[in-house]
A and B are shown apart, each in its own frame.
Chain A
Amino acid sequence: MTNKKIRVLIAKPGLDGHDRGAKVIARALMDAGMEVIYTGLRQTPEMIAEAALQEDVDVVGLSILSGAHNVLVPAVIEKLNENGLTNIKVFVGGIIPEPDISNMLKLGVTAIYGPGTDTQTVIADIKQAIQISNS
């Protein structure tokens, strides 16, 4: 008998100091029955990959408002892979301009969310992504 719960790391890489969005999504995922680990502001890609390893999460959610996503997202994915965490689903939220989205998806990001996204959409997407990878 297993009591599996979806574990999610919500992380803010880089230097922007606004984590209201990260907190809103962390709260919503908790209310959806997930275990959410929040690590606070100004995380390096190394710190995020290390926390993901130690916490054995299924999902990493990155909140980026600084515009540095083209640098930070590939760096986080690279560090996750270095740690052997190739199964983890990466979601990105924040201000990501339209032209950058296809590149993010190519890197292996599962989904990207802009301002005004319904939290229920995120919850449903996470559950679906986990289900697919488990089956």
Chain B
Amino acid sequence: MPKNDPIAIRTGDRLALSRALTLVENDAEESRALLSALFPFTGKAHLVGVTGAPGAGKSTLVNQIAKNLRQGKGQQAPKVAIIAVDPTSPFSGGALLGDRIRMNDLAGDKGIFIRSMASRGNLGGLASRTAAFVTVLDSAGFDLIIIETIGAGQAEVDIASLAHTVVVVEAPGMGDDIQAIKAGMLEIADIIVINKADRPGAENTIRSLQIMLEMAQGKSGIAAIKGKHALERSPAIKREEQASKLDWVPPIHSTIATEGRGIPTLIEDIHRHRQYLLHTQKWEEKETVRLRCDIQTLIRDTLLTQWWEKLDENKFSDILADVVQRKYSPEEAVEKLL
């Protein structure tokens, strides 16, 4: 069977799909033409990112979301693809991909496709080819693509430019409220989930997150008061105020993913966020951001590969030796090399 038959991929041949993902992941030469053949058929899927600290319960939550989306809906149920990213060891280059352990509930359902992906040295919480995986799965007709990042800390926010809807999963007792103010995770959240809500301290975590979110919205709160005072004088401000009511306020959900508690309302909000994006033209904005990032990454990788291929290795090692001897700085070495 040909590995790179775009028609087989688009018509639901799961083996063709799986092998295409491998080609794309390995950045095989034929994968670029394949992606170009598939790209015109993309743009329909809702891309949902799930991120959060290791052990917060991301995989269990993804399992429940997918199960709930499919259950009892027969032919109407959306087709769901899951990309589960886990870290590659920087020492061996190997990886242990264990997200499927939590997703055994989904076995046997042909409307679900799960693929584990090693980060292969990429920082930012995703693999460098995750965006290309999305292209392949979108063209294969999956309505919803869930992207589970590696266990993320404070800077793994690549998911924000890839997904339409970012779900940030937290667990109780993961640090004080200053952690919540810091840059990173919460800034990218469209929906916040406090999982393991039966654990002690869950209420405190929810409360401090609520306070932080209110603080973040404080600015627009002041603007709204200003608008109210000015209301009678200027209809333009009234329109502005109405527009600001359409702004998305990230809802906080508490869930117990192992028992499936809190999942249906979470799914409602995932759908609601999609509607919000479509009604406010933010969907196109997000698409533009995502594809710009995609092109930029491709340009960077392509230029870098071309440059390394043309590089005289002896020249490089000579200059490196000089840098080690403190004859030049790394900055001067770059000037000599480029």
Q: Are A2 and B28 in contact (CB under 8 A)?
A: yes
B120 at the interface (CB under 8 A from A): yes
- Whether A50 contacts B108 by the Cβ 8 Å rule is yes
- The answer to the question of B221 belonging to the interface, with a C-beta cut-off of 8 Å to chain A, is no
| Interface residue tally on A, bucketed by range | 20 to 34
Interface range, B side: 20 to 34
Residues of A within 8 A of B19 (CB): 56
Given A37-B116, A47-B107, answer yes or no on A30-B27 (Cβ-Cβ < 8 Å).
Answer: no
Measured between alpha carbons, how far is A127 from B292 in the docked complex, in Å?
A: 40
Q: Which of B27, B92, B113, B114 touches A2 (beta carbons < 8 Å)?
A: B27
Contact A1 B305 (CB under 8 A): yes
A66 to B325, CA, bound (A): 62
The CA-CA distance from A90 to B162 in the complex, in Å, is 37
Among the listed stretches A38-46, A101-109, A113-121, which one makes contact with chain B, having 4 or more residues with CB under 8 Å of it?
Answer: A38-46
Partner of B14, one of A7, A47, A54: A54
Question: How far, in Å, is A58 (CB) from chain B's closest CB?
Answer: 10
Report if A33-B108 is in contact (Cβ < 8 Å); known contacts: A1-B29, A54-B18: no
Alpha-carbon distance between A54 and B94 when the two chains are bound, in angstroms: 19
Nearest Cβ on chain B to A83's Cβ, whole angstroms: 7
Contact B28 A5 (CB under 8 A): no
Contact of B95 among A36, A40, A51, A54 (CB under 8 A): A36
Contacts of A37 in B (CB 8 A): 97-98, 100, 116
Known: A1-B29, A5-B118, A54-B115. A38 touches B101 (CB 8 A): yes
Residues from chain A with a CB closer than 8 A to the CB of B101 are 38-40
A30 touches B26 (CB 8 A): no
Q: Are A30 and B305 in contact (CB under 8 A)?
A: no
Known: A53-B15, A54-B14. A38 touches B107 (CB 8 A): no
Contact B18 A46 (CB under 8 A): no
Indicate which residue in A33, A53, A56 contacts B92 across the interface (CB closer than 8 Å).
A33
Residues of A within 8 A of B95 (CB): 30, 35-36
A55 touching B18, Cβ below 8 Å: yes
Render A1-15 as a binary contact track against B, CB cut-off 8 A, 1 for contact: 111110100000000
* Residue numbers in B under 8 Å from A32 (CB-CB): 92, 94
Given contacts A5-B26, A55-B115, could you give 7 more A-B pairs where the C-beta distance is less than 8 Å? Answer: A5-B94, A33-B93, A37-B98, A37-B100, A40-B100, A46-B107, A84-B1
Question: Please, could you name 18 A-B residue pairs with CB atoms under 8 Å apart, sorted by A?
Answer: A1-B29, A2-B28, A3-B26, A30-B89, A33-B94, A35-B88, A35-B118, A36-B94, A36-B97, A37-B100, A38-B96, A43-B104, A46-B107, A50-B108, A54-B18, A54-B113, A55-B116, A56-B21
